[in-house]
Every structure is written in C-alpha cells, then in structure tokens.
Amino acid sequence: MSEYDVLCIGNAIVDIIAQCDDGFLVENGITKGAMNLIDAERAELLYSRMGPAIEASGGSAGNTAAGVASLGGRAAYFGKVSSDHLGAVYGHDIRAQGVAFDTRPLSGEPPTARSMIFVTPDGERSMNTYLGACVELGPEDVEVEKATGAKVTYFEGYLWDPPRAKEAIRLAAKHAHSAGREVSMTLSDSFCVDRYREEFLDLMRSGTVDIVFANESELKALYQTSSFDAGLEAIRQDCKLAAVTRSELGSVIISPSETLKVDAIEIEKLVDTTGAGDLYAAGFLFGYTSGRALDDCGRLGSLAAGLVIQQIGPRPRVDLRVAAQQARLL
C-alpha cells in the first residue's frame, strides 16, 4: 500500500491578493492573465501600490496538495521556504490542511517567496511573483521515501524557472519510476510553455512524465498551433494521459485510445480564477489514485475547480470531500 496518493512539488509562495481594474494593470505594466517573474524591488513597488489585500498560502502545486487533502486523499509536498514570518505562515497553513510538509527551510536570505495577484472584475488573475527562497529547492530536498511511496508525483511547470529545481524533479521522477509509480506535470501557463517548450516535450516523449495537465492556451502554445483539435491529437502521441481544461467548456481527457469530454459545473458567480487549474488537477488526481474511471476523475476535477473560482484565494474554503459526496461523486 502506498504511503501517499499524491506527492506535489512546487514553488512555495505566499499569495497577496487584491482586486483592481484593467487600468491599474496598464498603468503598472502588468501582463494580464500571466505569471510575471519579478525581482525584490519590483515586489516592494507593487505591494506599495496594492489596495486592501488578502494573504494566503499558495503556489500552484501547493494548492493541488491542499485540494487532494480536502478530498480525503493522502498528500505530501516538497517546496522551499525561508525561516521567516511568511515561511512559518506557509508551513502552518499547508500542514493544517492535512499535507505532509517536511522540506527543511532556509536560514537567512533569500526570504520566502510571495506573489502579488491582481484580480480584475472578470475574475482573471495577473500574478507578479518574487521567487525568493524557491530558487534554492534542489536535489537535496528530495525525500526518497515520499518519492517512492506516492502513487503519483506531480510538479508544476513553473519549477523550470529556478535551475536547481530541474535536478530535483528529475531525481524525484527517477525514484518514482523505480518504484513503479507515475509522474505528472502541469504546463502552468502559456508564457511558461513558450520559455521551455522543447524541454517540456522532451519530458513527455522520454517518459519522464506520464500524465500532463494543461489548459487550451497552454496546449496550443506547446504545439504552436491555433487548432485545439490538432493540439489534442499531438498530445495523444506524446504522453500516456492528458487532461485539458477549457474554462466554462469543461475539460477533455486524452489517452492513446480515448477522448472523453467532461462538463464544467454550473456556478453562481465567477469571483477569482486563481487556483482553478490547480484544483482541477487535485480532483482528477484524487480520483485517479483512487482507481476511478477517467470521466469520474474529470468530474471531480470540474467540481473542485468550479468551487474554488467562486471565492477569493486558491485553496478550498469548503470541505471538498463533503461537496463531492453531495454531488454524488464519492
């Protein structure tokens, strides 16, 4: 029996979330809908210009781990923080959500990562991230017992920005595959795909990655096509399994022999899209590691994503297991 269902590896980031209008983005040179990497000086400037904000532990894979745990799954997490105030906040939050988090914190500089997230009235989020301590995640942070003991090891494409993290991912994947486990990744965003297209394709084609999560724009960016259908056929050839999200159009699950379409859930109001893809992956992977059919995995993903976009912040504020039971998915 596996000790964990899902091991998530990612940038441990405290999100600082504020609402703004599109004019604010233009005035401050912020690319709408993207994750923009910034330095410490830019982080201080944007923080000083933010309106009232909410602080919440985030980071893409951390959100996924929290979602898996909320559904009742056994989740673990690797991510680097510093031994400062935000690092303590991050560690407390993720452990309180039921996730095993034992990565040794840095002592001293750089500080724990933070992301200024500006949410416009249409619910779109524009992230401005100072990676801080995240860049120090390395092979020494890979806990062999967790990498071999998790049914699926999942990592975020954003980890390809800090160079030593690549070594950590490859090592974790090696341990996972040596134990007969599977490895999954999310492409993170289309700008990330533009930076690392060839490396991402190599991860898939070499078998380092078995399962891929993407949204429609990321899929098109990966294969440099304007055709969604062409992108689906291409990814079918490159990995064992893929789940592609399409916002209100739901998702499409692709395997070498199947194409399954899954509807999005109906929502009352779109509030904040932060964490939508992360929570879709959480629902899907919880279902997958529980041995459920692929379309049921997609429905669990749709439920988790649909609930998180009706709140501010990327981690579920409702008990996802109870919600899934009420929806008769569990």
pLDDT in tens, 286-330: 999 999 999 999 999 999 999 999 998 888 889 999 999 999 999
Q: Using the CB atoms, write b or e for 175-214: b if 16+ within 10 Å.
A: bbbeeebbbbbbbbbbbbbeebeeebbebbeeebbbbbbb
- The 3-state DSSP class for residue 104 equals coil
Query: Which residue is associated with the tokens 């990814």?
Result: 235
Going by the DSSP 8-state scheme, the letter that residue 20 receives in this structure is: -
Q: Quote the pLDDT of residue 2.
A: 66
| pLDDT for the residue 87 | 94
Q: What is the mean pLDDT of the chain?
A: 94
Phi and psi (nearest 5°) for 7? -100, 120
CA distances from 202 to 89, 199, 219, 222, 254 (A): 36, 5, 15, 12, 19
User: What average pLDDT does the segment 224-251 reach?
Assistant: 96
Q: Could you give the CA distance from residue 137 to residue 139 in angstroms, rounded to a whole number?
A: 7
Q: Does the pLDDT value for residue 58 go beyond 70?
A: yes
Calculate what percentage of the chain has a pLDDT beyond 70.
99
Q: How far apart are CA 95 and CA 277, in angstroms?
A: 22
Please check the confidence at residue 137 and state whether its pLDDT lies above 60: yes
pLDDT at res. 35: 84
User: Which residues have C-beta within 8 Å of that of residue 6, sequence separation ≥ 6?
Assistant: 64, 65, 68, 73, 74, 75, 76, 150, 151, 152, 153, 154, 282, 285, 286, 289
Which residue in this structure is represented by tokens 């007969």?
Answer: 180
Q: Is the dihedral of CA 246, 242, 256, 196 positive or negative?
A: positive
In the predicted model, what is the mean pLDDT of residues 39-49? 91
* CA distance linking residue 306 with residue 226, whole number of Å: 26
C-alpha distances in Å from residue 285, one per residue of 8, 99, 182, 187, 219: 11, 15, 11, 15, 19
DSSP string, 170-196: HHHHHHHHHTT-EEEEE---HHHHHHH
Amino acid letter, residue 56: A
Number of domains in the chain: 1
Per residue in 267-285, pLDDT (tens digit) is 999 988 889 999 999 999 9
Give dist(CA 274, CA 19) in Å, integer. Answer: 12
pLDDT at residue 1 tops 80: no
CA-only gyration radius of the chain, Å: 18
Sheet strands (E) in the chain: 4-9, 13-19, 35-37, 53-58, 75-78, 99-101, 113-119, 125-130, 150-156, 182-186, 211-215, 241-245, 251-254, 259-262
Could you tell me which of 207, 196, 200, 222 has the C-alpha nearest to residue 173?
Answer: 207
The span from the CA of 79 to the CA of 329, in Å, is 31
125-129, 141-145, 259-263, 283-287: least confident range: 125-129
* CATH code (residue 112): 3.40.1190.20
Identify the pLDDT of residue 180: 97
Q: Of 68, 275, 65, nearest to 188 (Cα)?
A: 275
Supply the range of the domain harboring residue 278: 4-326
Q: Measure the CA–CA gap between 36 and 268, rounded to whole angstroms.
A: 30
| Closest CA relative to residue 243, chosen from 161, 304, 316 | 304
- Structural contact between residues 131 and 11, judged by C-beta atoms closer than 8 angstroms: yes
